[in-house]
Structure 1
Amino acid sequence: MEFFTSHDGTELAFRTVGDGPPLLCLPGGPGRAAEYLGDLGGLGAHRTLVLPDTRGTGASATPADPASFRVDRLVADVEALRRHLGLDRIDLLGHSAGGSLAMLYAAAHPDRLTSLTLLTPSFAAVGLPSGTGAREVIAARAGEPWHAEAVVAYDGMQSATTFAEAARYRFAFEPLMYGRWDDAARAHAAADPAQRSLPVSEHYYAGYTPDTDGLRRRLAALTCPVLLLAGELDLWPTAASAAEAASLFPDVTLTVQPGAGHYPWLDDPTALTTTVAAFLARSDDRRTDNRRTDNRRTDNRRTDDRRTSA
């Protein structure tokens, strides 16, 4: 585990996994420590994953003011980590509620991104729905033995007004969040309470109102490529919500992973890593091409300058 000091003096933790160019990965929950991301199904074989614990979670310090947990204010922590890493630009990935944070970072610091990967993201921070058609997705899984109990739990979570109130429904609801409710999924879901900070969960969106028009304008002006990856069986976001949100970005690749829920690296790690690694490789190639173009332009200007002076 490594540590850095953020803009307000809070000591925040992160760990690195894997090898290759860095990929900064923002966890969701909201309020869940980055441990649940693992190595994103083997993506660490292609990239060095930088996995920060959001303030108030995991090994990161908990500041006195819980208002600093709010999603728009966490943008400053992402920027502080970029500076700490000494990176002029970053490849950024956000999962779930971390996708909301990643979009706000992109809107605030577009010149600091080389690519943006949104992995089953929440669209709450940009004022778009995430659950379009969720009931249809749930109904399509009616043959599962856990289905009836999970639907009751889903309704309970939908009616809950706080994360603490929803917590008692969570485990019975969790099968709906995975493509396969197997031993690995059950262990992953069972780890949630120990990894989650309910105060961070409660304050993540509390008091936040998105500047929808402004955010859409800024995201529409992004020059970096965007990968928007949804799970076919996910509820937050549904594939339908992801398709609607794709129009936010001028250079976007929309991918729906078959048979995947909210954690696609568990449902089919090969599919997830292949898709993300290929996208990042294309981004690297385009960045190299852009540098070559810039160098040629510089060389041409120097040649023109020499001719003029002669």
Structure 2
Amino acid sequence: METFTSYDGTELAFRTVGDGPPLLVLPGGPGRAAAYLGDLGGLAATRTLILPDTRGTGASATPADPGTFRVDRLVEDVEALRRHLRLDRVDLLGHSAGGSLALLYAAAHPDRLTGLVLVTPSFAAVGAASDLDAERVIAARAAEPWHAGAVAAYRKVKSARSFAEAAPHRLAFEPLMYGRWDDAARAHAAADPAQRSLAVSENYYAGYTPDTERLRRRLGALPCPVLLLAGELDLWPTAASATAAAALFPDVTLAVQPGGGHYPWLDDPAAFTATVEDFLHRTAAARAATTAATFSSR
């Protein structure tokens, strides 16, 4: 693990995995250490993944002020890491609640991004729905042997007033979050409690009210291309929610991974990595062509 000092003196940790152009990856949860991301299904074969632990999680320090866990305030941690890495601009990937953070970073620092990848992101930061058509997705999996217990737990998680109240029901609900409830998915889900900071989870959106008009205006003028990757079987966000949210961006590629859940790199690593790598490759090629055209016209 490497460390850097953020804007308020908090020591934050990150690790790098893989080889190739850098890709800064923001974990979700909210409040889950980046370890759950692994190597993103093998994406590290072509990209150097930069995986920070959100403040208060994993190897990162816990500040005295829990208010700094709030998603809009975490934007400055991302910017501090970019500066530490001495990257003028960066490809940014946000997963789940990390997608909300990535959206806020994009709105605040659009000139620092070359490409934005949103993997099964939360849209809470921009005040958009994430659960459109969720009941149909749930009903479509009724033949699964775990279905009745998972749906009962899902109802309890959704009605919980806090992450702590939802925590006892999360593991029973988790089959609905994976495209395949196999041994790999079970191990991934079982690791959640040890990787999660409930304090970060509780404060991530606490007191945050999005300025939806301003955010949508800024995202609507985003100069970099966006990949919005949803899972066909995901509940947060559903494919329907991702499709609706695609209208936020002027240059967006919407991809719905067949059979994918909330962690699509586990459900079909080859499909996931091909989609992300193809987007990043096309983005780099378009950027290079634009740069060449600019120089040739001088």
Correspondence for 1:212 = 212
2:74 is aligned with 1:94:
no
Give the Cα separation in 1 of the matches to 2:8 and 2:251: 34
SS of residue in 2 equivalent to 1:181: coil
Give the Cα separation in 2 of the matches to 1:159 and 1:70: 22
Correspondence for 1:153 = 153
Correspondence for 1:125 = 125
Deviation at 1:46, TM superposition (A): 0.9
Correspondence for 1:306 = none
SS of residue in 2 equivalent to 1:121: coil
Cα offsets for 1:6-46 (capped at 9, x unmatched): 01100000000000010000000000000000000000011
Deviation at 1:244, TM superposition (A): 0.3
Correspondence for 2:114 = 114
Give the Cα separation in 2 of the matches to 1:159 and 1:258: 29
Give the Cα separation in 2 of the matches to 1:27 and 1:12: 14
Cα offsets for 1:258-307 (capped at 9, x unmatched): 00000000000000000000000001101101110121133xxxxxxxxx
2:166 is aligned with 1:166:
yes
Give the Cα separation in 2 of the matches to 1:56 and 1:217: 32
Deviation at 1:143, TM superposition (A): 0.2
Correspondence for 2:236 = 236
Give the Cα separation in 1 of the matches to 2:295 and 2:5: 36
Give the Cα separation in 1 of the matches to 2:42 and 2:159: 37
Percent identity (aligned): 78
Partner letter of residue 288 of structure 1? A
Write the mapping of 1:48-87 to structure 2, written as runs, cut at 5 A.
Answer: 48-87=48-87
Give the Cα separation in 2 of the matches to 1:38 and 1:297: 44
SS of residue in 2 equivalent to 1:81: helix
Correspondence for 1:259 = 259
Cα offsets for 1:153-175 (capped at 9, x unmatched): 00001110000000010000000
Q: Which moved more, 1:285-294 or 1:92-101?
A: 285-294
Write the mapping of 1:4-83 to structure 2, written as runs, cut at 5 A.
Answer: 4-83=4-83
Give the Cα separation in 1 of the matches to 2:159 and 2:33: 25
Deviation at 1:223, TM superposition (A): 1.1
Correspondence for 1:193 = 193
Partner letter of residue 63 of structure 1? P
Give the Cα separation in 2 of the matches to 1:286 and 1:257: 24
Cα offsets for 1:228-278 (capped at 9, x unmatched): 000000000000000000000000000000000000000000000000000
How many equivalent pairs are there?
Answer: 298
User: TM-score w.r.t. structure 2 length?
Assistant: 1.00
Q: What root-mean-square deviation, in Å, do the aligned CA atoms of Structure 1 and Structure 2 show?
A: 0.4
